[in-house]
Amino acid sequence: MKISAKSKLSEQVVLHLAAEIVSGRLLPGETIPAEIELVNERDVSKAVVREAIQVLGAVGLITVRHGKRALVRESGDWNVLHPLVQDAFRQEGRGRELTEQLYDVRWALECFVAELGANKISSKDLERLLELRDGMDLAHRSQIDVRSFLDLDKEFHFILARASGNLPAFAILKGLSSSALGDWWKRVSAGDLPLLAEQHSRIADALAKRDGRAAAEMMSEHLKAGRAVHIIQTDTP
């Protein structure tokens, strides 16, 4: 679907205001600039500004008030899993800070679902995880393209999260994979594949033995290694 010119202009206004909020130049409880100010400052129409304000409200950055200027909301209300909010963090040089926090959440949840999944995973899901383990091992040994390897990697994590039976954890992890953490897969190179294959193999072996503690420990090692690479590169172009 073709994006309209108005929507593109709205995105620019949205990112500008989101950056003002994320940076702290607009504080919680303060009002955003008046509609006419934004029209003149950004050289856009009232319709564009109104669309931008609705988007900012939808992601929790502001409270939209009929007939009044919108109010900036507390940071705890922001939907930090939304790409717009994350773009604002990166623009303001806070990308690494947010990525570290997202990784803390991912680490806690994935270690949790690994331990839980060891006890709850069905024979069918376990069989598929072992197939994915073997597929990743074969992929890196045959020097298959990185993208194909990572498709197996992603499926491995999604199946394990689902197998835990904890629907909120699964939903949050799906959200994290489409957030800034999703960029991690873009940074993986062929040289990383042997270690990734080995780590997934250890996790799968622990699951096959129904050893929840070992599965959680292996998952922790895996995520710590990925975290180091991802966060170091977060603020690089």
Beta strands in the chain (DSSP E): 62-65, 68-72
Specify the pTM: 0.77
Proportion of the chain above pLDDT 90, given as a percent: 65
Q: What is the pLDDT of residues 74-126, one digit of tens each?
A: 999 999 989 899 999 999 999 888 888 888 999 999 999 999 999 999 999 99
d(CA 116, CA 18): 38
Confidence of residue 236 (pLDDT cuts 50, 70, 90): very low
H or E stretch at 43: none
| Residue 118 · residue 212 · CB < 8 Å | yes
What is the structure's pLDDT at 46? 94
Q: Crossing angle, helix 5-23 and helix 46-58, to 10 degrees? A: 50
pLDDT digits over 180-216, tens only? Answer: 666 666 677 788 889 999 999 999 999 999 999 999 9
Please give the DSSP secondary-structure letter assigned to residue 77: G
CB 31 within 8 A of CB 70: yes
pLDDT digits (tens, 9 = 90+) for 19-65: 999 999 999 999 999 999 999 999 999 999 999 999 999 999 999 99
pLDDT at 1: 34
What pLDDT sits at residue 175? Answer: 83
Residue 5's pLDDT is: 54
Residues 211, 114: Cα–Cα separation, whole Å: 9
Give the separation between CA 215 and CA 116, rounded to whole angstroms: 9
